[in-house]
Amino acid sequence: MAIAAAITLPSTAVNHRSLSSPYEASFSSFRLSSSSFQQSSTLKPISVRTGKKPGFRVFSSMSIHAPETSSPTSFLDHKESGILHFVKYHGLGNDFILVDNQDSSEPKITPEQAVKLCDRNFGIGADGVIFAMPGTNGTDYTMRIFNSDGSEPEMCGNGVRCFARFIAELENLNGKQSFTVHTGAGLIVPEIQEDGKVRVDMGEPILKASDVPTKIPPNKDQSVVKARLDVDGLNWNVTCVSMGNPHCVIFSTESSKDLQVDELNLAEIGPKFEHHMVFPARTNTEFVQVLSSSHLKMRVWERGAGATLACGTGACAVVVAAVLEGRTGRSCRVDLPGGPLDIEWREDDNHIYMTGPAEVVFMDQFLSDDALFLPDENYHLDRLCWLKRTNLYS
């Protein structure tokens, strides 16, 4: 089963700005009227309540149709009470549910609801939920994110690229554009390029061990570079970097000069790094293979999300670690399972710049309710065929 559509939220009116952009035809063609959602009398509800917090539900008899051609209103311009629209994006397969939250300084979705939304069997399916919120301390916007396990990370590199494209659609920004974003990792400045990719000034890396944070004793100034760490009976050579969120970067073990990343059992070893006692805030872990002095290949186990197809902050941390270990230059292409990112660690300002894509997948809407109704197979088959016809899903 693939995509679940109607999710419970508190019944609050939500205002959304209309979209007018190269994506407008696709966005507006994916409009679903609230009257399209009908409960089937043959469905059996399954309770998914968490304490007193609302759950969410999906209907199998939902009909999906293209809008009437007479209506110019775009998908995100709806204002129905109790309905909250979202757009799903991905950055190299690292996928997120984007919510326009600019009329409130508190997320419209709870961490518990985010877990259910991100479930790939009974929810929409995503690595996290991202909220576009009012700016803080003079910034244009604030970005917050809940991981698929309900935890809140400081920032997400692929997520901020998706965030930038989402804002461009909301604000009807065309061509090359940049704006300032407040995150838990500090100020981030994404810039949408003419080719549609997003270049992000990720700021300066944090190398001081206590600020990463890690309890591994520093071995190079105040940093941890190629230090030995015993995990599951094997000594790994680790370099610790923070991009506002902690990263443990590994190129080799004590017994092996270089890693062959495709041979790793990430699901087995990843959690052991994430929850290791030397990482008090847990950690993201990157396993890296050097292809050349300007080309790296990595796999990642993300804190709070597990194995993902891409991690933007991880790719940045990998290049920093590669430079510190003398393995590459400061400008590298980093291959991830979902595709490549271009990373540059500049000497002149010590900032790291990440460039990569962010693409819309589909859009839909949440409904208020207390129970989950399982969709049938025909619902999913019909919907996937419709999504493919709109070129928003493949």
Active-site residue list = 156, 311
- Cβ contact 140:168 at 8 Å: no
Alpha carbons 99 and 159: distance in angstroms, whole number:
12
- Could you count the other beta carbons within 10 Å of the beta carbon of residue 245? 27
Task: Identify the DSSP state of 50.
Answer: B
At 332, list the tokens.
């590298």
Alpha carbons 169 and 271: distance in angstroms, whole number:
37
352-356 and 359-367 beta bridge pairing: unpaired
- By CB atoms closer than 10 A (0-12, 13-18, 19+), residue 112 is middle
204: Cβ contacts below 8 Å, ≥ 6 apart: 350, 351, 352
At 327, list the tokens.
């393995």
303: Cβ contacts below 8 Å, ≥ 6 apart: 147, 151, 153, 245, 246, 274, 282, 283, 284
14 HSE (CA, 13 A, CB side): 26
As beta bridge partners, residue 203 has: none
Work out the angle at residue 48's Cα, subtended by the Cα atoms of residues 42 and 50, and round it to the nearest 5 degrees: 155
- Could you count the other beta carbons within 10 Å of the beta carbon of residue 221? 9
Give the sign of the dihedral formed by CA 14, CA 198, CA 342, CA 124.
positive
Alpha carbons 78 and 85: distance in angstroms, whole number:
8
Tokens 């600020």 -> residue: 211
- Cβ contact 259:284 at 8 Å: no
Alpha carbons 327 and 296: distance in angstroms, whole number:
10
What's the chain's Rg over C-alpha atoms? 22
128-134 and 94-100 beta bridge pairing: parallel
Distance (Å) of CA 310 to CA 200, 330, 348: 16, 20, 28
